[in-house]
Structure formats: structure tokens, C-alpha cells
Amino acid sequence: MVFNILYYHDLILQKIDTAKMHAKLFASLKPGGTCVIVNHKAQDGSGTQDIQAQHRMDVQIIRDQLHAAGFKLAEESNILAHPEDDRTWMVFTSGKRGTTDRALFIFRKPE
């Protein structure tokens, strides 16, 4: 099992070759292996434009990148949702920290 909690956007910010990283993760997991990702949500369709200023990204990028690596989405949960978050502020904003609208994905390596 692999966890990436509130850090996926930093991979992009730090210019990590996520395709290469995902290929290595995929190869290292046994069939049925799990990859869990939690990340702060940016506005839908915003791509990566908010990573630097807000530490958020469009979570569709996560879906697309993990699918491209061969993972299958097993579950997407709203358990970490905060619908009152308009997804426009920096995640470290005083008084708001810990209240971001977050995505929770569980991907699996096919059996």
C-alpha cells in the first residue's frame, strides 16, 4: 500500500516526473495493491494554476495521471469534503487551516 497525503500538489510544484514515479510505484505493488491519495481541491478545470499560490490543484489531474500509469480507481470518497470551502484561498490561511475541501482516492493495481 502507498499513501500520498496532502502532498500530491507538491510533486507538481517540485517538477517531479510523476509518470516515472507512478511507473515505479505500479511496478513495486503486487496485483491488487493500493494507492491512497488525499489532496486539497482547487476549482474544477483549473489544472495546476493554483499550486504555487494556494497549494491546491484540480484533482482530475490525479485521476488522469494514475489511470495513465495503469491504476484503476477503486473508490472516491467525500468523507473529507468541506463544501463551505470555495477553493480560492491558500491552504495555510490562519483560522482556516484543516478546513479545505479535500479529495480522497483509492486506486488499485489490477489483479
Q: Hey, what amino acid is at 74?
A: A
Decide if 87 contacts 101 (C-beta within 8 A).
Answer: yes
What is the model's pLDDT at position 75?
98
Decide if 51 contacts 12 (C-beta within 8 A).
Answer: yes
- The residues, any chain, with a CB within 8 Å of residue 31's CB and separated by 6 or more, are 109, 110, 111
Tell me if the pTM is above 0.75.
yes
DSSP 41: B
CA 9/CA 39 separation, integer angstroms = 7
CA 111/CA 104 separation, integer angstroms = 22
pLDDT tens, the chain, 111 aa long = 999 999 999 999 999 999 999 999 999 999 999 999 999 999 999 999 999 999 999 999 999 999 999 999 999 999 999 999 999 999 999 999 999 999 999 999 999
